[in-house]
Amino acid sequence: MRSMIQLLSAAAIVCLLPAAAHAQNQGATLFQSNCQMCHGADGKGSTPTGQALKVVNLHDPAVVKMTDTDLANVIGKGKRNMPAFGSRLTPPQIENLVSFIRALQKQ
């Protein structure tokens, strides 16, 4: 009985843990296909397109200070040269991108 419980809780942990990792992975994939050409894989915006459009470095303290809602709003509505993604991405996809940006800022 005891080992059954251990087995079940191990299975529960295996099932639950990847949920957070999954959101971040999805964010990474979305970032690669929608954002990387301007913001660069590292988020510093040092790509030729990024420099031409005067992309903001996502590690900039001003961006780090923004709330998750602020980030989601900019992604959804756009800002100057930054295109709006609200019609192309779903709100959960934008949330995944926000968690990906947060992970990037910690690197």
Task: Kindly list the residues in this chain that would bind ligand HEC in the complex (CB under 6 A).
Answer: 34-35, 37-39, 53-56, 58, 63, 71, 74-75, 79-83, 85, 97, 101
Nearer to ligand HEC by Cβ, of 6 and 29: the residue is 29
CA distances from residue 9 to 1, 15, 71 in whole angstroms, order as listed = 12, 10, 37
CB of residue 20 to ligand HEC, shortest distance in Å: 19
Nearer to ligand HEC by Cβ, of 8 and 28: the residue is 28
34-48 as b/e, with b when 16 or more CB fall inside 10 Å? bbbebbbeebbbebe
